[in-house]
Structure 1
């Protein structure tokens, strides 16, 4: 089964870094537009282990499906660097950057948003990361049995 995993606020702490950068410099309207913003994001608790478990599973075929930040044209490269640094080349080869998540065919989409990037039109099952049902990686792993 194909599993797509969002990056920002699912694999890495985008909102936390965004709020910290904004607190340090409130004059910056788009903190994510700063050079190396995406490469410096901290992994979410349990994310690295969950991706490793999905990769090791005979049942799942995981990919990262992330939308680009149009406020930072370097984010395409920076997200790729983050994936390489934290998840290795195997996941770099499974990195998909696309603004419309309904274009891809798969069984599961793990995302912190249910709309905004056409998640609601994804043909598989959307696991709403951070929701009451899937608050963290432990809940997602329990559901997927990995």
Structure 2
């Protein structure tokens, strides 16, 4: 099973950092354009442990699939460095930075948006993170376990 996991507001807390920067610097409408923004994002609760758990499963290929920030060309390198900081160098081989997520082939996409970056045409299942169906990583892992069980039968 091939699983793609979005970064912003799925693996790392993008929205809280945006809100924090806007409160401190209301004149900057694009805090994500600041150098260091993406690398400094805090992990979402349970995200790091969930990815490590998935990586240990031999029936799963885990990829991080994130869109770049057009407001910050440094987002490419900062996101790459964030992945290495949190998961180690080996996981950087599984980092995909792409503005159109519907171009990739896979079984599951875990994303906080259902559309806007090609999520709506992704060929597999979309786990819409942060919604009633997938509010947190504990729930997502439960749903993934069910998917893995049904695929092995």
Scaled by the length of structure 2, the TM-score of the pair is 0.94
- 1:101 aligns with 101
Query: Unpaired runs of 5+ in structure 1?
Result: none
Distance in 1 of aligned mates of 2:51 and 2:90:
11
Larger Rg: 2
Distance in 1 of aligned mates of 2:25 and 2:144:
41
Distance in 2 of aligned mates of 1:28 and 1:122:
34
Shift of 1:100: 0.2
**Which is richer in helix?**
2
Distance in 1 of aligned mates of 2:19 and 2:99:
23
Query: Unpaired runs of 5+ in structure 2?
Result: 149-153
- 1:39 aligns with 39
- 2:137 aligns with 137
2:67 matches 1:64: no
Scaled by the length of structure 1, the TM-score of the pair is 0.98
> C-alpha offsets along residues 39-63 of structure 1, whole Å, 9 cap, x if unaligned?
0000000000010011000221000
Following TM superposition, where does structure 1 have runs of at least 4 consecutive aligned residues deviating by more than 6 angstroms? Answer: none
- Count of equivalent residues: 146
Q: Give the aligned CA root-mean-square deviation in angstroms.
A: 0.9
SS at match of 1:93: helix
Kindly report which structure 2 residues correspond to 1:3-42, keeping only aligned pairs within 5 A, or say none: 3-42=3-42
Shift of 1:87: 1.1
